[in-house]
Amino acid sequence: MKVYEPKNIRNIALLGHSGSGKTTLAETMLFESGTIRKRGTIESKNTTSDYHEIEKEKQKSIYGSLLHLDWRGTKVNILDTPGSTDFYGQVAESFHVADVAMFVINTESGVEIGTEAFWRAAEKENVPSMIVMNKLDSDKSDFNGSLEMIRERFGRGVVVVQYPYSEGPEFHAIIDVLKMTMYEFPEDGGRPDKLPIPESQRAQAEIYHNELVETIAENDESLLDLYFENGELDEYQMTDGLTNSLLERNIFPVFCSCASRNMGTGRIMGFLGNVAPTPLDRKLKKADGSEYLIDREGPPSFYVFKNSSETHVGDLTFIQVTGGSVKPGLDLVNRRTQDGLRLGSLYISQGAKRTEVEEVTAGDLAIAVKLKDLHAGDTVSLKESDLVFAPTRYPNTTMRVALKLNKEGEEDKLGIALNQIVKEDPSSRVEHSQELQQTILHGLGEEHLNVIMHQLKERFNLDVDFIKPRIPYRETITKRVNTQYKHKKQSGGAGQYAEVYLSIEPWTEGMPDRDDLNVRNVEKIELEWGGTLVFQNCIVGGVIDNRFMPAIVKGVMEKMANGPLSGCRARDIRVSVYDGSMHSVDSNEAAFKTAALMAFKDGFLKAAPQLMEPIYEIEVTLPAAYMGDVMSDLSSRRGQILGMDSEGSIQKIKASVPLQELDQYTTRLKSLTQGSATFTREFLEYAQVPHDVQKRVIEETQALEAEKNG
């Protein structure tokens, strides 16, 4: 197997809205480069990239897959990513290793929400980007309309390198304004004839050509001088200028293809080989914020960008070599755990197929097997190295469900399965909530969670269902009350005796101490579930010993952890113990804890208790046409609009919405907008729940309690 030097490697990520043709384009590139003999199609369920059963079934990509090809001595690694924003995690993983993001646009619809979302992410991650206009053979194809939309969304850097001679079913030729040539394809695609640009197209081609030259010159002063001197740049000058402008994200060149009829990929691969940045050009971010350039001569190191696994093989660790070269048998250290590891076999990946290799050089992507405890985002390097890369940034989750096992005794099995799933897909998250007594799965949407469910059932053989997750309400009180409890037990030997008088009241930051009580000591406790408990010792005349104070706090805390209203955590309360009594023999810590707990519980229920619910701030991105529907849906979800923003045809709404109302929001938003909107969410605050909601929650809790108690 050939070992490629980094300057002869290109790592590209195919990105874009679902259905734009990424997987088909990848397949066509593999075919056109002679890597595969037969071109698979989505419809025949035999593409190299979509090889998982579930991808064949759904006829779309769900997992990012790594492919590679050789185009005239250049190794092109292709990361084909899913276009559905539910699988955003797979896209995020590609950013760390992609030297170029190739955005595939469906010219039937122009910029769609997935394109928009991934473009903004590529912008944030500073990944050079190019654009491929696909489906030009469709009778609904609209190159100019799509171009206009792309320019509106992504700015002046969008420059035409190619445009179609004609589009729709008669599409058969592409005009290239960098080479000033027309490529005319045979009926079933493949290698085109190079022809002069026809007379009818010369004027248009000149306009695009000049735009291209001017944009390249604008971004490079020395080229600008040359351009003014000669009124033109030659192809080599343009090529260099393009590479630099791509790297700076000043230029986003536009290419044309019809992936399903094998037209256009040869020239795209040529551009990748001749112009696109190499792994040596890309600045990687280290954990300390500094930059790192891939170093062929440096000590061996690699970055784990993705995990997956396979029956009979186990863990597959996807790596990018970032320094020197790596070979089986090499001893390295995982910088996260500081554990040593010895590299086993290494493979290059062609979808489901793997080929063993002896060596992988800096810049290249490969799979390592049988390595324990390597997570996506780990840096692995020589023992004495201190290299640590900044980890991949995964999106925040937007949807949660609770898991219910239908068979007893499978808790451990479920735990192991979930661990493995999260390891392979860090955009999902599992929370074993003590508070809610549920295992909660967080993901990026219904489609995402359904794929996880599919894995739990098919791969891990678990009988499990999704159920509604409980809401982590908080409880507090709204008025001051005095409360008292005497705990007295006399059964045989030693008895139990404790009596406490408490004053409990709502607490807010900055509140003065009680002046009607003799406050001797104040303890402020920041609760681990958020909020505060302030405890005041106001005992006069030693009626309760100081040594019992911790037990009293403990009793109060125990009830706060299991709130009197709904069993949820309580917060923001001040408790003052101001009287009580003890017995010289029968009083002990346990007795005071019980007395405090009971007094607190009684008082709490009399103190106009109030349920608080978590409120999230959401940001919805949507096409303007759906604004009305989305807004009225938000108001039916008790949403409060915090702000609105419009960027051309794309609108953004910021709103605060109770978590309870967000349970099925991802799904609802999709159906309201025909899948064209996305949203993000973040915890904002706790706020009082409306009276009717509180009533319902309390009733539900009581019913649950009654059920538990038989």
Closest distance of CB 162 from Mg ion, Å: 23
Q: What are the residues binding ligand GTP (CB under 6 A)?
A: 16, 18-24, 41-43, 60-61, 82-84, 104, 134-135, 137-138, 258-260
Interacting residue with Mg ion among 11, 23, 381, 398 (CB under 5 A): 23
By C-alpha distance, which of 459, 400, 316 is closest to 665? 400
Closest distance of CB 323 from ligand GTP, Å: 33
Q: Quick one: which segment of 57-65, 97-105, 530-538, 609-617 binds Mg ion (CB under 5 A)?
A: 57-65
Q: Which of Mg ion, ligand GTP, none sits in contact with 323, Cβ below 5 to 8 A by type?
A: none
449's enclosing H/E stretch is helix 446-454
Tokens read off for 664: 């099925």
356 beta partners: 347
Beta-sheet strands, E only, within 16-172: 65-71, 74-80, 100-106, 129-134, 158-160, 162-164
**Block residue for tokens 């646009």:** 105
Of residues 102 and 607, the one with the C-beta less far from ligand GTP: 102
Backbone torsions φ then ψ of 604, nearest 5 degrees: -55, -45
Report 265-284 residues binding Mg ion (CB under 5 A). none
Q: Which of ligand GTP, Mg ion, none sits in contact with 439, Cβ below 5 to 8 A by type?
A: none
Q: Quick one: which segment of 20-28, 136-144, 204-212, 592-600 binds Mg ion (CB under 5 A)?
A: 20-28
**The amino acid at 119:** W
For 320, 360, 362, 367, the CA distances from 78, given in Å and listed in that order, are 13, 16, 16, 14
Backbone torsions φ then ψ of 670, nearest 5 degrees: -60, -45
Of residues 11 and 18, the one with the C-beta less far from ligand GTP: 18
For 105, 133, 348, 457, 481, the CA distances from 77, given in Å and listed in that order, are 20, 21, 10, 33, 70
Closest distance of CB 59 from ligand GTP, Å: 7
506's enclosing H/E stretch is strand 496-506
* Dist CA 450 CA 655 (whole Å): 27
Of residues 21 and 567, the one with the C-beta less far from ligand GTP: 21
Positive/negative CA dihedral, 150, 151, 157, 161: positive
Of residues 174 and 462, the one with the C-beta less far from ligand GTP: 174
List Cβ<8 Å contacts ≥24 apart for 434-437: 435/472, 435/529, 435/568, 435/569, 436/402, 436/469, 436/470, 436/472, 437/470
Give SS3 for 260: helix
The answer to whether 419 and 61 have CB atoms below 8 angstroms apart is no
The answer to the question of residue 61 lying near Mg ion (CB under 5 A) is: yes
Closest distance of CB 634 from ligand GTP, Å: 28
Q: Which of Mg ion, ligand GTP, none sits in contact with 259, Cβ below 5 to 8 A by type?
A: ligand GTP
Distance of CA 403 to the CA centre of its chain: 21
Of residues 50 and 579, the one with the C-beta less far from ligand GTP: 50
Closest distance of CB 306 from Mg ion, Å: 16
Closest distance of CB 149 from ligand GTP, Å: 18
Task: Give the CB-side neighbour count of residue 413, counting CA atoms within 13 A.
Answer: 15
Closest distance of CB 80 from ligand GTP, Å: 7
Give SS3 for 359: coil
Q: Which of ligand GTP, Mg ion, none sits in contact with 262, Cβ below 5 to 8 A by type?
A: none
Closest distance of CB 108 from ligand GTP, Å: 8
Q: Which of ligand GTP, Mg ion, none sits in contact with 135, Cβ below 5 to 8 A by type?
A: ligand GTP
**Block residue for tokens 């302030």:** 534
Q: Which of ligand GTP, Mg ion, none sits in contact with 377, Cβ below 5 to 8 A by type?
A: none
Q: Quick one: which segment of 17-25, 178-186, 329-337, 637-645 binds Mg ion (CB under 5 A)?
A: 17-25
The answer to the question of residue 361 lying near Mg ion (CB under 5 A) is: no
Closest distance of CB 40 from Mg ion, Å: 12
Q: Which of Mg ion, ligand GTP, none sits in contact with 566, Cβ below 5 to 8 A by type?
A: none
Of residues 83 and 658, the one with the C-beta less far from Mg ion: 83
Of residues 61 and 588, the one with the C-beta less far from ligand GTP: 61
The answer to the question of residue 694 lying near Mg ion (CB under 5 A) is: no
Positive/negative CA dihedral, 196, 180, 201, 192: positive
By C-alpha distance, which of 160, 131, 68 is closest to 268? 131
Of residues 84 and 676, the one with the C-beta less far from ligand GTP: 84
The answer to whether 267 and 194 have CB atoms below 8 angstroms apart is no
Closest distance of CB 21 from ligand GTP, Å: 3
Of residues 74 and 676, the one with the C-beta less far from ligand GTP: 676
| Total interface residues for Mg ion by CB under 5 A | 3
What burial letters (b/e) apply to 425-451, b meaning 16+ CB within 10 Å? bbbbbbeeeeebebbbbbbbbbbbbbb
Of residues 19 and 469, the one with the C-beta less far from ligand GTP: 19
* Dist CA 141 CA 126 (whole Å): 30
The residue nearest ligand GTP at its CB is 83
Closest distance of CB 58 from Mg ion, Å: 10
Tokens read off for 192: 């085109």
Of residues 91 and 618, the one with the C-beta less far from ligand GTP: 91
The answer to whether 162 and 176 have CB atoms below 8 angstroms apart is yes
Of residues 14 and 634, the one with the C-beta less far from ligand GTP: 14
Give SS3 for 391: coil
Q: Which of ligand GTP, Mg ion, none sits in contact with 258, Cβ below 5 to 8 A by type?
A: ligand GTP
Closest distance of CB 360 from ligand GTP, Å: 27
Tokens read off for 2: 């050939």
Q: Which of Mg ion, ligand GTP, none sits in contact with 28, Cβ below 5 to 8 A by type?
A: none
Which parts of this chain interact with Mg ion (CB under 5 A)?
22-23, 61
